[in-house]
Amino acid sequence: MCLAKAYTNREMVEPILENISHMDLDDKSVRMETMFGEEK
């Protein structure tokens, strides 16, 4: 299984969220959920 990492820009060293298993996109926001249930 390959899980995603999220960064706010290309220069960031640390991701804001890891192990992303689900993303919801709408007009103005992105909701991400990890395989452990954490959401941002």
20 in a structural domain: yes
Please report the pLDDT score of residue 2 as a whole number. Answer: 73
Q: How far is CA 30 from the centre of its chain?
A: 9
**What domain count does the chain have?**
1
Please report the pLDDT score of residue 29 as a whole number. Answer: 94
39 in a structural domain: no
Closest listed residue to residue 15, CA positions, set 24, 5, 27: 5
Whole-number Å distance between alpha carbons of 20 and 38? 9
Please report the pLDDT score of residue 32 as a whole number. Answer: 96
| Domain span including residue 10 | 4-34
Kindly report, residue by residue over 1-40, the tens digit of the pLDDT. Answer: 678 999 999 999 999 999 999 999 999 999 999 999 999 9
10 in a structural domain: yes
13 in a structural domain: yes
23 in a structural domain: yes
Asked whether the beta carbons of 38 and 31 are under 8 A apart, the reply is no
Asked whether the beta carbons of 16 and 8 are under 8 A apart, the reply is yes
Please report the pLDDT score of residue 3 as a whole number. Answer: 86
Whole-number Å distance between alpha carbons of 21 and 15? 15
40 in a structural domain: no
